[in-house]
Amino acid sequence: MNRKTSLIIMLTMVIVLSVTLLAGCSSKPSYTEDPESLLNFVGKIVRWMHSWVGNYGWTVVVFTVFLKLITLPLDFWQRVSARKTSEMMSKMQPLLDEIDTVYSKDPQRAAREKQKVYQKYGFSASGSCLPMIITMVVFFVMFGGLTSYSNYNSVVNYQQLSSYYNSEYTALVKEQPAYQEYYDGYIAEGLDTTAAHDKALRDFYENNIQLNNQLKDEVLLKIPQYYQEHHESWLWIQNIWQPDTWAPIMVDYQTFVNNFNNEGIENYVNEMEYNNIRNAVLGSTDRSWNGLMILPLMSVGLSFLSIFISQLLDKKKGAPAPANDTQARTNRSMMIIMPLMMAFFGFMYTGAFAVYMVFNYMLSIIATVALKVPVEKIVAKSVAKADSRAGTQKESYKR
């Protein structure tokens, strides 16, 4: 891959990554009575898979396996690219050090001579970064998809609970003599049944406050059973769309509305009704925490284990050591930064995303072991060709 081609591809990937990040982190979605509009492409795939898997947690597991299989060629390319870069740098480093010595007083000349070495070996630093950029794109696409489905699920969950709450309340009100009196009066005035019902319900609410509150409390007592019958749990997690932590199984009203950018969202979501339903839902379980922090801790541990196993296998197979102290420090930093990054996502975002991270790392560890031999064979051939192209270049700077 020549420099121009590498630069074009690099810029393309940067643009794709930027667009992806902006799409995932830009303006909040608008609340709508049609939650389907909240789903992006990935969210729609998850919903389709859920229709035949039957459980959100296992749906995310199946989707993770499916995504890993689809991106396996990319994963293989990334491993080959990273290993080849390490091999090339190991072979070129003595030459590069020699150039720094010979042209220590002429940095511009040193840079030009180093570029000649890179060209001789067919080395492209930008090209070696491309697979990682694509991997990050996939990561954030998945994050955006599960975030969209989380918003979708929270709206659907509230709408179902609200519909049940209001239908049960209305059914009890219709049994009251006061309501029937109001309703019959409006029918006698010539109103249609819908208008008569709406006005009778309003009059009952305004003129029978104590009885009205008793009926609402009676309906709220039914909410826990309804919620338990219609919500999904996954293993130890009560709500997969809440973090596997101390988070409650249903967010408070302010958190719910903050997920959306609507002005006047209170016209769609009544705060008092939301809080009453939420309190009833929270009372449906003996455990105040949504999860037990198992998934976030597993994602941290597996992130560290994945990097550790990869480096360990390289050492056992005689892979080249880092060409310089900077690369060695980078390797050590990755073993700290990546687990911390996974901890942030695991503790702050949905259990569904933590499920994705855990199973993705499990599959990555398996791939690391399974792809080791074919990666080494391809890299060995590529390095041999590079050595052949380089010819006597190894001796050209030894004065």
Q: List phi, psi (to 5°) of 222.
A: -90, -15
Query: Which amino acid belongs to residue 218?
Result: E
Of the candidates 263, 169, 146, the residue with the CA atom closest to the CA atom of residue 218: 169
pLDDT at 385 over 70: yes
Q: What percent of the chain has pLDDT over 90?
A: 25
Q: List phi, psi (to 5°) of 86.
A: -65, -45
Render pLDDT for 276-324 as a digit per residue (tens, 0 to 9). 999 999 887 767 789 899 999 999 999 888 888 887 876 655 545 454 5
Q: List phi, psi (to 5°) of 262.
A: -70, 135
Neighbours of 35 (CB within 10 A): 18
Give CA separation, 73 vs 69, 77, 80, 371, 381, in Å.
8, 6, 11, 11, 19
Cα separation, 132 vs 136, in Å, equals 6
pLDDT at 264 over 80: no
pTM: 0.78
Of the candidates 142, 171, 170, 97, the residue with the CA atom closest to the CA atom of residue 323: 97
What burial letters (b/e) apply to 66-100, b meaning 16+ CB within 10 Å?
A: ebbeebeeebbbbbbbbbbbbbbbbbbeebbebbe
Q: List phi, psi (to 5°) of 234.
A: -145, 110
Say how far residue 232 (Cα) sits from the centre of its chain: 20
pLDDT at 161 over 90: yes
Q: Which residues fall within 8 angstroms of residue 322, CB to CB, at 6 or more apart?
A: 86, 328, 330, 331
Of the candidates 130, 128, 135, the residue with the CA atom closest to the CA atom of residue 92: 128
By CB atoms closer than 10 A (0-12, 13-18, 19+), residue 200 is buried
Q: Which residues fall within 8 angstroms of residue 372, CB to CB, at 6 or more apart?
A: 313, 317
pLDDT score for 124: 63
Give CA separation, 384 vs 113, 326, 377, in Å.
22, 26, 11
* Residues found in the chain: 399
Cα separation, 365 vs 301, in Å, equals 12
Render pLDDT for 349-384 as a digit per residue (tens, 0 to 9). 899 999 999 999 999 899 888 888 888 888 778 777
Segments of the chain assigned E as strands: none
Cα separation, 179 vs 198, in Å, equals 11
- The three-state secondary structure class of 234 is strand
Cα separation, 341 vs 69, in Å, equals 24
Check: CB of residue 389 under 8 Å from CB of residue 122: yes
Of the candidates 16, 23, 3, 1, the residue with the CA atom closest to the CA atom of residue 133: 16
* Highest mean pLDDT, choosing among 18-27, 113-122, 223-232: 223-232
pLDDT at 65 over 90: yes
Cα separation, 355 vs 340, in Å, equals 17
Retrieve residue 323's tokens: 């060409």
Residues 14-42 have a mean pLDDT of 66
Cα separation, 88 vs 119, in Å, equals 12
Check: CB of residue 162 under 8 Å from CB of residue 49: no
Cα separation, 214 vs 204, in Å, equals 13
pLDDT score for 22: 47
Question: Residues 60, 64, 67, CA angle at the centre, nearest 5°?
Answer: 135
